[in-house]
A and B are shown apart, each in its own frame.
Chain A
């Protein structure tokens, strides 16, 4: 039946998404929610000499 086929298809697609979600949790993709926003700014260009380390002082609290 046509309707039943569509239902099975939609359930299969949903199940695929669910499997992907469970996999992403198990592989620890939700453990560092902070990182990605910085990592996307990183230059992967290793030709450049590496930037000097930031002064290892107190956290920048004053202007």
Chain B
């Protein structure tokens, strides 16, 4: 028996019942829960009084919907059933405390909230032998320090497992590690620069006061040298990366942001030294502030980027890395001696009694010819051929096909597809680089390598600006020489031009705007990876969308019930108060509740929307694979199945039903025929419905002046029907590579393209597109190859993303202008030779304040957009007629 609250299995004699609960919110038992005929929904069963108490509490609070909304039907790993981790070698245990202790990093899967972190920490800390355990709230990484003489790694891991969490090796990609190191390095540099700059400001303030009020030469000289001494390390130590980057840039004959920093700040410092020696005003505060502000911008940028990629990395840990190995293959060439020998017959599958214990092994240890078991709800680990079992596979993520594909012995299965119901034993035919999945990933990498990185706007401007400033400085020197000034004086004025022209706020122009925009985006449920993605999103002219899972929900739902006129009326017995269509759905749901087929699930799901009613008695339930289900309801035979099922049973298809079902079938929908007492009563149409928010979202995109079309791997009829419904153009039956070349073709026509998808089959196109947008429920590869992720899995975020991109681009442009404005205004003063350091400091402060203030205007993006939109109409309800 299964508890209606916690879904735990328990022996029937311990049952705690709650009778007469049928009137209350019925817990929507997942289809197929429990053995058929045992659980009568009118009675609720619980494993303990505690669960009954919680169930009552939840319903008393009016929160009974929880039981309908939760998705616990997917088989997870039962709590307490502790399987030893497949591969301990992936865990990096490092000695700590001089060998007295060991330390290991573990990624804990299944952490959702702060109390999960709390629980894991406490659990580990109370484990004898564990010295310390700390879980990072942001990354879910547990750092466990234990005494290897008292406890070993598997026991530490099983402790985590026993609480229902999944320990995984903490693998940090070289890229992520480098990024973390970069952020850390930047933080130290930034702190150093700000410390020195703030100290420097005290002396600058004193010096400025001295200019106006007078200061004796000795004190002034002392303060000047101290300020130079403080500015020099900012430029040479904290600012070391600028020098390195400038040198590499110069070797390629390019000026970038860093060369401007080095040029302006270096000129200011050199100038200051010369002035201090000869008794003029020093510029050391300018020399220090330029690198400090630019470093601030860099740090802000790096943090925003890391936050986005961290979130994606966390989603990526969901990938299955283990396979249930039933038996090693017999191919001697592919397996080392010993391991290749067939296992003893006790482990062979096929005997009655308990199934053999499968070994969990890492996917990369599986070889060709091995037999692996795939239990329902699990991803098929590798490409292969079914040798045993009947099931259906959801290959939508790989191929884009929205309907589950039946799989029997001999059928080929693709790694990455989900096994829906029924356990399969698969003989692996392809591993490693030969799998379909690996081919797609290769295509992604190829597209990634070809994708040009957008040069930031600030860098593009600087490339022009630096030569201009140098020319202006040269012209200034020439002008003063021509006026008859000494070479020394002319040079000083030229340097002053370089110093004042260097806009330190330019370093803030992009990062501050990007930080605000990405923060705004993530509050909405949008993950944007980096500023250039935003900038490109602003320039998008054309949007291509994948169909399955992107425009549609990606799982079938009941679309229509075709009720046939005449005939006997079975519904009066079932739900006399509801309409006939509703009654038929309730009847079908009562039968299909025992089935795990996707059509059945869609009908059961639809029945949940109906008022609760006593369920008719269903007996003799049987499922016929590939055909349908049959049972007896109140003693009369009910069949629900496809046309072939009707043919098998010799049920005539009434012409009326035929005529009404054909258009739906032509559009690629699945039909299920309800036969009551040997006559067809109704036809259920099951289809992957369009997301309710899709029509409004697509209309908004068109309203923004974008061309929108659908590209799908699914059949022509299905795709065409959806496209016609939404009023957009469509391309059907496109392979992953075709999708990519389609995007490339539009790009070749000079248009910036955004591609939106959720499947692996979209990954190459996502990478090829200027902006790839992945749905939040997509695969990890998809999210990895995308520039932005709609974390909330809500298509209406797509116009938001493009809008934010447009707005952020506009703000960045304005910022760049304001960053230059005050400095450029002050250039004539420098040319005229009357520039005072206070003017430089004021220009710097004013432009920085303007850039930050202007960026803050981004915050109004969505409030304005939402007001203009006046709430888009919620898409029409899609379920019942």
**Do most interface residues of chain A lie in helix, strand or loop, or is the interface mixed?**
loop
B70 contacts A57, CB within 8 Å?
yes
For residue A34, CB closer than 8 A to chain B, the reply is yes
Assembly CA distance A29 to B113 (angstroms): 21
Instruction: Answer whether A30 and B187 are a contact pair too, CB < 8 Å, given A38-B118, A54-B115, A56-B79.
Output: yes
For residue B648, CB closer than 8 A to chain A, the reply is no
Type the 1/0 row for A30-63, where 1 means its CB is closer than 8 Å to any CB of B: 1111110010001000000011011111111011
| Cross-chain contact of B163 among A18, A33, A35, A53 (Cβ < 8 A) | A53
Q: Which residues of A contact B81 (CB under 8 A)?
A: none
Type the 1/0 row for B78-113, where 1 means its CB is closer than 8 Å to any CB of A: 010000000000000000000000000000001011
Type the 1/0 row for B149-192, where 1 means its CB is closer than 8 Å to any CB of A: 00000000000000111000000000000000000100110011
Q: How far is the CB of A34 from chain B (nearest CB, A)?
A: 4
Q: Which residues of A contact B116 (CB under 8 A)?
A: 53-54, 56
For residue A11, CB closer than 8 A to chain B, the reply is yes
B65 contacts A62, CB within 8 Å?
yes
A32 contacts B136, CB within 8 Å?
yes
B136 contacts A59, CB within 8 Å?
no
Q: Which residues of B contact A32 (CB under 8 A)?
A: 136-139
A25 contacts B110, CB within 8 Å?
no
A38 contacts B191, CB within 8 Å?
no
Assembly CA distance A53 to B115 (angstroms): 8
A57, closest chain B residue (CB):
B70
Assembly CA distance A18 to B110 (angstroms): 39
A3 contacts B112, CB within 8 Å?
no
Q: Which residues of B contact A10 (CB under 8 A)?
A: 199, 202
B195 contacts A14, CB within 8 Å?
yes
Q: How far is the CB of A51 from chain B (nearest CB, A)?
A: 7
A22 contacts B118, CB within 8 Å?
no
Instruction: Answer whether A60 and B112 are a contact pair too, CB < 8 Å, given A17-B195, A25-B184, A25-B188.
Output: yes
Type the 1/0 row for B1-30, where 1 means its CB is closer than 8 Å to any CB of A: 000001000000000000000000000000
A21 contacts B219, CB within 8 Å?
no
Chain B 106-136 residues near chain A, CB threshold 8 A = 110, 112-119, 122, 136
Q: Which residues of A contact B199 (CB under 8 A)?
A: 10-11, 14
For residue B577, CB closer than 8 A to chain A, the reply is no
B70, closest chain A residue (CB):
A57
A58 contacts B79, CB within 8 Å?
no
Q: Which residues of B contact A3 (CB under 8 A)?
A: 219, 222
B113, closest chain A residue (CB):
A54
Q: How far is the CB of A55 from chain B (nearest CB, A)?
A: 8
Instruction: Answer whether A60 and B113 are a contact pair too, CB < 8 Å, given A11-B199, A31-B136, A35-B136.
Output: yes
Q: Which residues of A contact B164 (CB under 8 A)?
A: 53, 56
A50 contacts B72, CB within 8 Å?
no
B122 contacts A50, CB within 8 Å?
yes
Instruction: Answer whether A22 and B136 are a contact pair too, CB < 8 Å, given A4-B222, A53-B163, A62-B69.
Output: no
A57 contacts B184, CB within 8 Å?
no
For residue B71, CB closer than 8 A to chain A, the reply is yes
| Cross-chain contact of A21 among B69, B118, B138, B195 (Cβ < 8 A) | B195
Assembly CA distance A17 to B188 (angstroms): 13
A22 contacts B79, CB within 8 Å?
no
Q: Which residues of A contact B163 (CB under 8 A)?
A: 53
Assembly CA distance A33 to B137 (angstroms): 8
Q: How far is the CB of B76 from chain A (nearest CB, A)?
A: 8
Instruction: Answer whether A57 and B222 are a contact pair too, CB < 8 Å, given A11-B199, A14-B195, A21-B195.
Output: no
Chain B 30-70 residues near chain A, CB threshold 8 A = 63, 65-66, 69-70
Assembly CA distance A55 to B119 (angstroms): 12
Assembly CA distance A17 to B192 (angstroms): 10
Assembly CA distance A3 to B226 (angstroms): 13
Assembly CA distance A54 to B163 (angstroms): 10
B229, closest chain A residue (CB):
A11
Assembly CA distance A57 to B58 (angstroms): 15
B165 contacts A56, CB within 8 Å?
yes
A30, closest chain B residue (CB):
B187
Most buried by A among B6, B119, B192: B119
Assembly CA distance A38 to B118 (angstroms): 9
Q: Which residues of B contact A22 (CB under 8 A)?
A: 188, 191-192
A56 contacts B118, CB within 8 Å?
no
B137 contacts A34, CB within 8 Å?
yes
Assembly CA distance A19 to B226 (angstroms): 20
Most buried by A among B114, B117, B222: B114
A18 contacts B165, CB within 8 Å?
no
Q: Which residues of B contact A14 (CB under 8 A)?
A: 195, 198-199
B138, closest chain A residue (CB):
A34
Assembly CA distance A42 to B135 (angstroms): 14
Q: How far is the CB of A46 from chain B (nearest CB, A)?
A: 8
Assembly CA distance A56 to B161 (angstroms): 12
B119 contacts A53, CB within 8 Å?
yes
A51 contacts B115, CB within 8 Å?
yes
Q: How far is the CB of A63 from chain B (nearest CB, A)?
A: 8
Assembly CA distance A32 to B115 (angstroms): 16
Q: Which residues of B contact A53 (CB under 8 A)?
A: 115-116, 119, 163-164
Chain B 188-230 residues near chain A, CB threshold 8 A = 188, 191-192, 195, 198-199, 202, 219, 222, 226
Q: Which residues of A contact B79 (CB under 8 A)?
A: 56
Assembly CA distance A57 to B67 (angstroms): 11
Q: Which residues of B contact A51 (CB under 8 A)?
A: 115, 119
| Cross-chain contact of B72 among A17, A18, A34, A57 (Cβ < 8 A) | A57
Assembly CA distance A59 to B184 (angstroms): 31
Assembly CA distance A3 to B139 (angstroms): 50
Q: How far is the CB of B757 from chain A (nearest CB, A)?
A: 23
Q: How far is the CB of B318 from chain A (nearest CB, A)?
A: 13
A56, closest chain B residue (CB):
B164
B65, closest chain A residue (CB):
A62
Q: How far is the CB of A60 from chain B (nearest CB, A)?
A: 7
Assembly CA distance A58 to B35 (angstroms): 25
Q: Which residues of A contact B112 (CB under 8 A)?
A: 54, 56, 58-60
Q: Which residues of B contact A60 (CB under 8 A)?
A: 112-113
Q: How far is the CB of A18 from chain B (nearest CB, A)?
A: 4
| Cross-chain contact of B187 among A18, A25, A35 (Cβ < 8 A) | A25
B191, closest chain A residue (CB):
A21
Q: Which residues of A contact B219 (CB under 8 A)?
A: 3
A54 contacts B119, CB within 8 Å?
yes
Assembly CA distance A14 to B191 (angstroms): 12
Q: How far is the CB of A42 from chain B (nearest CB, A)?
A: 6
Q: How far is the CB of A3 from chain B (nearest CB, A)?
A: 7
Most buried by A among B63, B69, B118, B192: B118
Chain A 7-31 residues near chain B, CB threshold 8 A = 7, 10-11, 14, 17-18, 21-22, 25-26, 30-31
Q: Which residues of B contact A56 (CB under 8 A)?
A: 76, 79, 110, 112, 116, 164-165
| Cross-chain contact of B137 among A11, A35, A50 (Cβ < 8 A) | A35
Q: How far is the CB of A41 from chain B (nearest CB, A)?
A: 8
Q: Which residues of B contact A30 (CB under 8 A)?
A: 184, 187
Q: Which residues of B contact A59 (CB under 8 A)?
A: 112-113
Q: Which residues of A contact B202 (CB under 8 A)?
A: 10
Instruction: Answer whether A42 and B118 are a contact pair too, CB < 8 Å, given A10-B199, A62-B65.
Output: yes
B122, closest chain A residue (CB):
A50
Assembly CA distance A53 to B535 (angstroms): 44
The 7 A-B pairs of least Cβ separation, nearest first, read A34-B137, A38-B114, A35-B137, A18-B195, A59-B112, A34-B138, A56-B164
* Chain A interface residues toward B at CB < 8 A: 3-4, 7, 10-11, 14, 17-18, 21-22, 25-26, 30-35, 38, 42, 50-51, 53-60, 62-63
Query: Can you give 10 contacting A-B residue pairs, CB < 8 Å?
Result: A14-B198, A25-B191, A30-B184, A34-B138, A51-B119, A56-B110, A56-B164, A57-B71, A57-B72, A59-B113
Extra inter-chain contacts (9) besides given A14-B198, A34-B138, A35-B138, CB under 8 Å: A3-B219, A18-B191, A22-B192, A30-B187, A31-B136, A34-B137, A51-B119, A53-B116, A56-B76
* Chain B interface residues toward A at CB < 8 A: 6, 63, 65-66, 69-72, 76, 79, 110, 112-119, 122, 136-139, 163-165, 184, 187-188, 191-192, 195, 198-199, 202, 219, 222, 226
